[in-house]
Amino acid sequence: MVTGASDGIGRCFALDLATSGFNVVLASRSKEKLDKVEREIANINNNVKVKVVSIDLANATDYTPITGDREVSENLAIVVNNAGQHLDGRFFEIAP
């Protein structure tokens, strides 16, 4: 699963995982951009399963579009968290 997968570092991680044969869940705010990444992955390796989840992780209160998928939850091996809320402060001083 890659969050922030629609462009930048998240997109690169998603493409890299697909190149390595991993099925991927792509999560980001923009469905259109995610669909474009899904097409790129199909061009790289059409045997890779891709699930697109349009979600704003900085403001989400319901994560079931990601966590409610049984196939995903039972087979999740790698999480690349590249999205969400920015918190100011020193990393180890911020509450979990």
The predicted-structure confidence for 14-41, as pLDDT tens digits, reads as follows: 999 999 999 999 999 999 999 999 999 9
For residue range 50-81, list pLDDT tens digits in order. 999 999 887 878 878 887 888 888 888 998 98
- Taking a C-beta distance cutoff of 8 angstroms, is the pair 44, 19 a contact? yes
- What is the distance between the alpha carbons of residues 5 and 91, in angstroms, rounded to a whole number? 23
User: What pLDDT sits at residue 23?
Assistant: 96
User: What pLDDT sits at residue 87?
Assistant: 67
Predicted confidence (pLDDT) at residue 93 exceeds the cutoff of 80: no
- What is the distance between the alpha carbons of residues 40 and 7, in angstroms, rounded to a whole number? 12
| Whole-structure pTM value | 0.82
